[in-house]
């Protein structure tokens, strides 16, 4: 091969990635985000920061080749429907959505725009996808914990508070997964000789009233399953539990970080990190129907020793050894 021709080939090969990169930047991808939380919730903002950082590491830079449209609805189904409609009207290339209440709203309004969900407990039984391996439609994403894990919360409560004889499950029945949590909760309670009781809540006042009702029972404790309403009003719930000196178990680190006794559940930040990988794959041409719904790979146990001391509780060494994080 002649030297000049060889140099020309090398020059073209070296220039190709740059040209491709420039070409990629000519198309600005549009990402919609629907969050059924309050916009000033620092925990949820942290989750989105993890998501954005992962996208940036994958080459998607906001203001360059990516445009992001966010919508925050808080715990308001009317606003969720309204903002879902707004996002769809913008014709984004993909939409990220959190929670079991918001995802179906988007799914009902569009069958073509790809949707990546985060934190859905029952994507198959709820009809969002045909199967975990082959979603089949325009939705896919990251599932939440299995329902049997709610039983593990009851076990953790009994382990950290052996004197407990009554246990309450507090959640919002607007969450369609509540009925499935109920079965796992009641089975675990009965197996541990605990008297189970379930409280339905919709507003902050309901949460306070439910906790006050639990406090009237002897040797009572509380389990909070994954629930949008409780997460939004977690500081109120934690304060009410502390006021009545009740042991309580939650499902996300945010609760323990805000003063809750113990949390055991999916490492939520990992879900948002992995959601960015799905958004990236869809933006690069893959179809959500071919992307399997992924199950959680990381569970974390977080214990707040400061809260335990305030309650006069001695955390069993066996539980401390298993903890992924101990807050002192």
Domain boundaries, the chain: 3-144+268-297, 148-266+300-327
184: closest CA among 223, 142, 130? 223
β-bridge partners, 94 = 31
Higher local confidence (pLDDT), 13 or 94: 94
pLDDT tier at 40, thresholds 50, 70, 90: very high
* Predicted structure pTM score: 0.84
CATH fold for the domain made of 3-144+268-297 = Rossmann fold (3.40.50)
> What's the CA gap between 317 and 237, in Å, rounded?
27
Per-chain mean pLDDT for the chain:
89
Residue 17 has pLDDT above 80, yes or no: no
The pairing of strands 166-171 and 195-200 is parallel
Contact 158, 164 (CB under 8 A): yes
Residue 3 has pLDDT above 60, yes or no: no
Strands (E), 55-111: 66-72, 94-98
Higher local confidence (pLDDT), 34 or 125: 34
Contact 326, 305 (CB under 8 A): yes
Q: Which CATH number fits domain 148-266+300-327: 3.40.50.970, 3.30.420.10, 3.40.50.2300, 1.10.287.70?
A: 3.40.50.2300
Best-predicted range by mean pLDDT among 118-122, 161-165, 182-186? Answer: 161-165
pLDDT at residue 12, as a whole number: 41
> What's the CA gap between 48 and 193, in Å, rounded?
41
> What's the CA gap between 22 and 73, in Å, rounded?
36
Q: 206-260, pLDDT tens digit by residue?
A: 999 999 999 999 999 999 998 889 999 999 999 999 999 999 999 999 999 999 9
pLDDT tier at 120, thresholds 50, 70, 90: confident
Q: What is the DSSP letter of 130?
A: S
- Structure token digits, residue 296: 């959680």
> What's the CA gap between 194 and 151, in Å, rounded?
12
pLDDT at residue 172, as a whole number: 92
pLDDT at residue 4, as a whole number: 37
> What's the CA gap between 67 and 49, in Å, rounded?
15
Strands (E), 80-185: 94-98, 115-120, 139-143, 166-171
Contact 157, 167 (CB under 8 A): yes
> What's the CA gap between 179 and 187, in Å, rounded?
13
pLDDT tier at 318, thresholds 50, 70, 90: very high
């Amino acid at each position: 091969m002649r030297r000049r021709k060889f140099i020309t080939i090398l020059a073209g090969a070296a220039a190709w990635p740059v040209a491709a990169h420039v070409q990629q930047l000519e198309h600005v991808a549009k990402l919609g985000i629907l969050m059924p939380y309050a916009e000033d919730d620092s925990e949820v903002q942290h989750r989105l920061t993890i998501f954005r950082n992962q996208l940036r590491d994958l080459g998607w830079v906001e203001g360059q080749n990516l445009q992001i449209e966010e919508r925050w609805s808080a715990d308001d189904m009317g606003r969720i429907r309204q903002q879902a409609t707004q996002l769809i009207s913008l014709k984004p290339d993909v939409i990220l959505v959190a929670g079991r209440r918001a995802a179906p709203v988007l799914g009902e309004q569009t069958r073509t725009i790809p949707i990546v969900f985060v934190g859905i407990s029952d994507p198959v039984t709820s009809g969002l996808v045909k199967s975990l391996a082959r979603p089949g439609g325009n939705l896919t994403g990251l599932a939440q914990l299995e329902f049997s894990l709610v039983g593990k919360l009851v076990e953790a409560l009994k382990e950290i508070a052996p004197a407990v004889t009554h246990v309450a499950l507090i959640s919002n029945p607007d969450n369609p997964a509540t009925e499935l949590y109920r079965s796992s909760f009641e089975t675990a309670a009965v197996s541990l000789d605990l008297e189970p009781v379930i409280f339905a809540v919709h507003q902050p006042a309901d949460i306070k009233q439910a906790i006050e009702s639990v406090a009237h029972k002897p040797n009572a404790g509380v389990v909070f399953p994954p629930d949008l309403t409780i997460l939004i009003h977690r500081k109120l719930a934690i304060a009410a539990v502390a006021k009545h000196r009740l042991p309580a178990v939650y499902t996300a680190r945010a609760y323990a970080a805000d003063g809750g006794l113990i949390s055991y559940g999916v490492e939520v930040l990992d879900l948002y990190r992995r959601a960015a990988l799905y958004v990236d794959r869809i933006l690069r041409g893959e179809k959500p129907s071919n992307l399997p719904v992924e199950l959680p790979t990381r569970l974390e146990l977080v214990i707040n020793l400061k809260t335990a001391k305030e309650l006069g509780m001695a955390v069993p060494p066996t539980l401390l050894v298993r903890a992924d994080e101990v807050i002192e």
